[in-house]
Amino acid sequence: MPAPTGRPPALVLGLQLTALGTIRALARRGVEVVAVGEREGRPAEHTRYGRKLFDSRAGTDACVEMLEELAPQFAQPPVLFASADWHAVLMSRHRDRLRDKYRYVFPEQEALETLMDKGRLAQWAARHGFLVPATAVITGPASARDAAQALRFPCVLKPSVRSFAWPHGRPKVAVLDSPEALLSACEHGTRDAPAYVAQEIIPGRDDDVYFCLVYVDRQGEVRASYGVRKRRQQPPHHGAASLAVGWPDETVAHQAVALLRTAGYRGIGSVEFRRDPRDGQLYLMEATIGRVDLNTPLATAAGVDIPYLSYCDAAELPLPEVGVKRPGLKWCDERADWFSAKYYWRRGELGLREWIGSLSGPCTYATFAWGDPLPFVCLSAGFVARAFGIRTAWW
């Protein structure tokens, strides 16, 4: 679908599920979209929307050189969208090189990297009065020993920031039940990131996790927010949402907006909290910074089109009105929820009828869309192939 005369195109970095939601949202608004992936073979690349390019540098720190080479192909600077943390970091660090070639709305580099880094975020948030689980930053053997002595267990261990070098398919969180387990994990499994955080676990269920998707314009005005509650996660208990529901919660929205305002934030972001069932308090877990969230299509379907807001703001076009903010709409990542549901089936905590019931009602999906069926067809073909022992990147 061609863009109307005078409007710049959008360039989306990535061709994974997170990028797919952005590609669809913008293309349905009549924006010309170009998406750049680092490798072929993912279901999302079969979307009928946009033009697809492939360059191995899109998944490395050479991404900036790739963007500089692409820029002359466009009649006017495109609006640039990140769909992974390392894209956002590179766009922030090299904004001077990209300034005349691309448009995007970002906070200052210090704010972006502080909020994105889980260790720095925990320290910064605690100083500014937000509740944060007890957290230790681990950069080597000495800090690992200090963490093992200071923290209560169980705890989770995760990279402070996941870079492009993080091994594909490796879980981002490890649950450790003792100081000895922490020391062993730090000795054998912390070579893929420069720093890790160990964090005490706030008890509760998957549906004790809430987050708020937010857009803050170039002038610092909050233009949109949409609250979401997780229903299931993958991996269960400490992963990304596999099933979520639109959930207006004034306390969650207030804390998310307050945190971003305190940081002087600009652009697309979301902030996640866990409600402690022991006292009802919200504890800050993490923030998604400088890029769209995997669950952003839930807000778009509910009338809060954050990718298009960002596009118009970066392109200096009139910002669209935010829609009705439909609560109760569900979002499901089909593949992730299949694995999450299997986990709960095996534990006797979820039956087939309950699983089907949890997906009933208005629902939007990470892969499936009536007007854009091929990504889901590829995903389904990958599922069948794996069932017969055939390995494929489609599942």
pLDDT digits 0-9 by tens, 154-193: 999 998 887 655 545 566 788 999 999 999 988 876 666 7
Q: Mind giving me the DSSP string for 21-54?
A: HHHHHHHTTT--EEEEESSS--GGGG-SSSEEEE
Per-residue pLDDT tens for 277-294?
999 999 999 999 999 999
| Helix extents (H) in the chain | 17-27, 63-70, 85-93, 95-98, 109-116, 118-127, 141-150, 179-188, 250-262, 296-301, 306-314, 334-346, 352-358, 374-387
Domain coverage including residue 98: 10-104
| Predicted pLDDT of residue 148 | 94
State which H helix or E strand residue 159 sits in.
strand 155-159
Whether residue 240 sits in one domain with residue 317: yes
Do residues 214 and 152 lie in contact, with contact meaning Cβ atoms separated by under 8 Å? Answer: no
CA dist 275 to 122, 229, 241, Å? Answer: 16, 11, 16
Whether residue 307 sits in one domain with residue 247: yes
The 8-class DSSP code of residue 183 comes to H
Mean pLDDT over 292-318 rounds to: 96
Q: What percent of the chain has pLDDT over 70?
A: 95
Of the pLDDT bands very low, low, confident and very high (cuts 50, 70, 90), residue 308 is very high
123 inside domain:
no
Do residues 130 and 255 lie in contact, with contact meaning Cβ atoms separated by under 8 Å? Answer: yes
Q: Which of 169, 200, 231 is the last residue of a domain?
A: 200
Do residues 355 and 334 lie in contact, with contact meaning Cβ atoms separated by under 8 Å? Answer: no
Tokens found for residue 330:
């569900």
Per-residue pLDDT tens for 197-231?
999 999 999 999 999 999 999 999 999 999 999 99
CA angle 116, 395, 13 (to 5 degrees): 40
What is the rounded CA–CA span in Å between residue 206 and residue 233?
6
158 inside domain:
yes
Whether residue 211 sits in one domain with residue 287: yes
Whether residue 172 sits in one domain with residue 293: no
Residue of higher predicted confidence among 32 and 322: 32
Whether residue 298 sits in one domain with residue 229: yes
Whether residue 280 sits in one domain with residue 183: no
| Predicted pLDDT of residue 265 | 97
What is the rounded CA–CA span in Å between residue 366 and residue 218?
29
Of the pLDDT bands very low, low, confident and very high (cuts 50, 70, 90), residue 323 is confident
Whether residue 326 sits in one domain with residue 251: yes
Q: How crowded is residue 157: how many other Cβ atoms within 10 Å of its Cβ?
A: 23
Q: How many domains does the chain have?
A: 3
CA 59 to chain centre: 16
113 inside domain:
no
Whether residue 139 sits in one domain with residue 96: no
